[in-house]
Amino acid sequence: MRTKKRTLVTTKVYGFNPWMDQLLSINQIMETTGQKTEAPIIRDLIDEALAARRRKTSATESSDQPKPAQEFTDSLHTIQALLLKLIEQGQTDVRVQSLNLELLQETLGEARASRIAVWETLLVPALRAKGSHSEEIAHLFEGHTEDAQTFAYCLAEKIKDELLAGEATILTTSGDADRQGSLNYDEPRPVEDHDQ
């Protein structure tokens, strides 16, 4: 079933001894097609083999060629989508941090107001009864405030050091493990008494 007339070369003959499995396959094709001689079947098989070889060669050459522009465009769209998600997550992070800061400021304001109320209501009258002057009382209050601030800063520095040490350990051992697992929550932290 060839679409164009092919020229048969009579001056060149290929002679070879087939393998047993090749001989059996050729005989089976001859029986199936009703062909009386092997030559036309061998020519068809050679045509099929050469066509397969050409397809294989062209597939190898096309894989060596640079990727089409569509694949680059798809990659760029994927990268753009990921960047937009990162920006959105960053904005959410900033909003959460702003809310945390507001809550922390509110808590600190309430704590200071409560401390001043207790100081003014309970301690100032007792200190005045003992003969302390307003300047001494104010100096004592500021001293307690500075002690509390020093304690808070030292505690924050210690927690930061624990976090950094835990992250360094995780990065050297596992790389992507849960960072919260690096903190040791079982050790009680010593609490100093600053309100003597």
pLDDT 10s digits, 79-103: 999 999 999 999 999 999 999 999 9
Cα 192 to Cα 151: distance, rounded to the nearest angstrom? 8
Among 27-31, 45-49, 124-128, 188-192, the minimum mean pLDDT is found in 188-192
CA torsion through residues 157, 190, 97, 172, sign: positive
Alpha carbon separation from 29 to 40, 46, 70, 96 (Å, rounded): 11, 14, 45, 76
The C-alpha R_g of the chain, in whole angstroms, comes to: 44
Domain boundaries, the chain: 20-63, 133-196
Cα 31 to Cα 27: distance, rounded to the nearest angstrom? 6
pLDDT value for 196: 42
**DSSP class of 130:** T
Cα 14 to Cα 42: distance, rounded to the nearest angstrom? 11
Cα 127 to Cα 170: distance, rounded to the nearest angstrom? 53
pTM higher than 0.75, yes or no? no
Cα-based angle 25, 28, 33 (whole degrees, multiple of 5): 125
